[in-house]
Chains A and B, each alone.
Chain A
Amino acid sequence: MADHKAALRQYIQDNFIMGSNGTKFADGDSFMELHILDSTGFLELISHLEETYGIAVKDEEMVPENLDSLDAIDAFVARKLAA
């Protein structure tokens, strides 16, 4: 799963964070609280996960517990792929 996490970190870095204004975040940090992602950003993230991993994210799965940190997404994607 380490590969997923590194790839996801790269995706967040490339798409939502940049240069000297870049916010540093740990694997467990909340994207929402650090203002890395807003509502549109989360929708983009979900589309990215669906396309990259071929999973379908249901409405009830669109919650911070599944999406609001690298650790959370990593665990969520792993669960979805195993299902």
Chain B
Amino acid sequence: MLLHHAFESSCARLPAKTAIVCGDERVSYAELAGRVDALASMLRVRGVERGDRVALFLDSSVEFAVAVHAVLRLGAVFMPISPLTKADKLAYMLGDTRAAALLTQARLQPVWQDALERSASVHSCVVHDAQGGRTGGDRVLGWPTGAAAVDGSRSPELIDQDLAAIIYTSGTTGVPKGVMLTHLNMCSAWRSVQAYIGFREDDVIGLALSPSFSYGLYHVLMSLGLGATLVLERSASFPVKVVENLARERVTVFPGVPTLYSAILGLSNLANYDLSALRIVTNAAAALPDEHVRRLGELLPGARLFSMYGMTECKRISFLPPEQLTIRPTSVGRGMPNQECWLVDELGRRLPNGSTGELVVRGSHVMRGYWEKPVETAERLKPGGIEGERVLYTGDIFRTDAEGWLYFVARGDDIIKSRGEKVAPREVENAIYALDGVLDCAVIGVSDELLGQAVKAFVTLKPGAAMSERDVIRHCLARLESYMAPKSVVFMDDLPRTDSGKIRKLDLR
């Protein structure tokens, strides 16, 4: 069983059904299958082969779904990259994986053009919505249109041990790590999630999250694999639009994160919209405040609300059944089906219920490792109970109650979770150090009602240098994904240090 087989079966079974709604565009399964064929054929002609890495630098769009399935069809490995990514990081990712192709769109040209110029490996850059006037030489091609090519573009030799995707995640060193996921990893995660959540073919799944990250990506894969209808919401910045679309399309499944729910629940005219079709609402990335749990329950009496926890390295770990939500509202639940998880102490000894320790996960959904990063891989994947087996040390600290329900305590590293996205302080500090006049800086997360955590920077300047808070923020916005830019900047004469000279971040809190 390979990751794209379910999608191909949906296309064969439900050709006339609407697969994706995106803005004014409504695409049937037959139409989608044709577009996948056309792109896969083009990539094959260009020389993309089994195992090649293909970067997807695309907005949430029909093209994103087409690109995922075309790459899988060829036996190649897709790498979803957030459209918020800036040129330096994109260039790093293309270089790190020696990507063979880049699938992108005209509006992102200011970013990808720069990265493409620095890439020796990318031989084909396929651009959606290209307006003539190519600028990247013969590597740059327009997105294929029209009928499917004759070539079926299959890779029959592919097996489920082959890589399906590489998804980048923030690392504490400030250098992103590529999480390697096989077809088996992703199909296993899918089956475990499906076993407890129960999506159906007649569902309409409303996705306002980015499909470049694991949480959103699986909704694209599962919706199309089940033959459901996927509604891609491009206006997530405008809560009124999100709610309008939920009502108009009669959306039945809605995955969200606390900032999104907070924006929606903040609308004064919410009662004007009929959201009664919603039957499953999920939250992940950070805990929902009790007040929001209560208000969602009142607003959507017919919907089941799942609180969930996961990480890119294995997609999902735990879920709280909706009927447990009033009993233990702050728990992220227990392990999902076909997966074992437990807590260990500092020496790796398994702890009984009622303890606090690092969460360890065992299952066939656990990643293969970080792409060409053996040291980082060894920190997370360690020998399990069976010879040759490796289990995932999440680095996150949890406690369990007497019945084994999990409660998040703290991250084992200094990664900040802001707006549900991971921010590595080192990555932000590196960007700030690039500013002329900066002597020293330290970045921490401070709790923030709206964002979960807000990024806060402390900066000391070289003698004679002058800059404002806004200068620092603007500089970061130009270099980093927008959610990584500091929300506030404090200028100091000195940063607190340990005897050995290390910055004492604890003293900055």
Contacts and interface: CB of A to CB of B under 8 A. Distances in A.
A and B interact: yes
Contacts of B338: none
Interface in A19-67: 19, 21-23, 32-35, 37-42, 58-60, 62-64, 67
B482 A41 contact: yes
Interface in B113-169: none
A64 B241 contact: yes
A19 B107 contact: no
A18 B475 contact: yes
B478 A37 contact: no
Interface in B81-121: 83-84, 86-87, 107-108, 110
A51 B477 CA distance: 23
Given A15-B474, A17-B478, A60 B238 contact: no
A32 B482 CA distance: 13
A38 B237 contact: yes
A60 B269 contact: yes
Given A18-B474, A35-B83, A40 B238 contact: no
A3 interface: no
Nearest to A58: B268
Contacts of B458: none
B239 interface: yes
Contacts of A58: 268
Interface in B189-242: 234-241
A22 B179 CA distance: 31
A43 B327 CA distance: 35
Contact of A59 (B234, B237, B240): B240
Interface residues of B, number: 31
Given A15-B474, A59-B267, A35 B237 contact: no
Interface in B40-79: 59
Contacts of B508: none
B108 A21 contact: no
B240 A32 contact: no
A62 B238 contact: yes
A10 B177 CA distance: 37
Contact of A18 (B239, B266, B267, B477): B477
Given A35-B84, A60-B269, A42 B110 contact: no
A67 to B, nearest CB: 8
A39 B240 contact: no
Contact-residue bracket for chain A: 20 to 34
A14 B468 CA distance: 12
Contacts of A38: 84, 237, 482-483
B467 interface: no
Contacts of A62: 238-240
Nearest to B236: A39
A16 B475 CA distance: 9
B373 interface: no
B477 A59 contact: no
A62 B12 CA distance: 41
Contacts of A39: 236-237, 259, 263, 419
Nearest to B259: A39
Nearest to B266: A59
A19 B478 contact: yes
B107 A32 contact: no
A34 B483 CA distance: 16
A23 B108 CA distance: 10
Interface centre among A21, A22, A23, A62 (most CB of B within 10 A): A21
Contacts of A19: 478
A38 B263 CA distance: 13
Nearest to B481: A38
B110 A33 contact: no
Given A32-B235, A39-B263, A62-B238, A15 B269 contact: no
Contacts of A67: 238
Interface string B359-387: 00000000000000000000000000000
A16 B83 contact: no
B334 interface: no
Contacts of A32: 234-235, 237
A18 to B, nearest CB: 4
Interface string B476-491: 0111001100000000
A58 to B, nearest CB: 8
Interface of B: 59, 83-84, 86-87, 107-108, 110, 234-241, 259, 263, 266-269, 419, 470, 474-475, 477-479, 482-483
* Ranked 6 nearest A-B pairs via Cβ: A39-B237, A18-B478, A21-B478, A38-B482, A42-B237, A59-B267
24 contacts: A16-B477, A18-B474, A18-B477, A19-B478, A21-B87, A21-B478, A21-B479, A23-B110, A32-B234, A33-B59, A34-B107, A35-B107, A37-B237, A38-B84, A38-B482, A39-B259, A40-B483, A41-B237, A58-B268, A59-B268, A62-B238, A63-B240, A64-B235, A64-B241
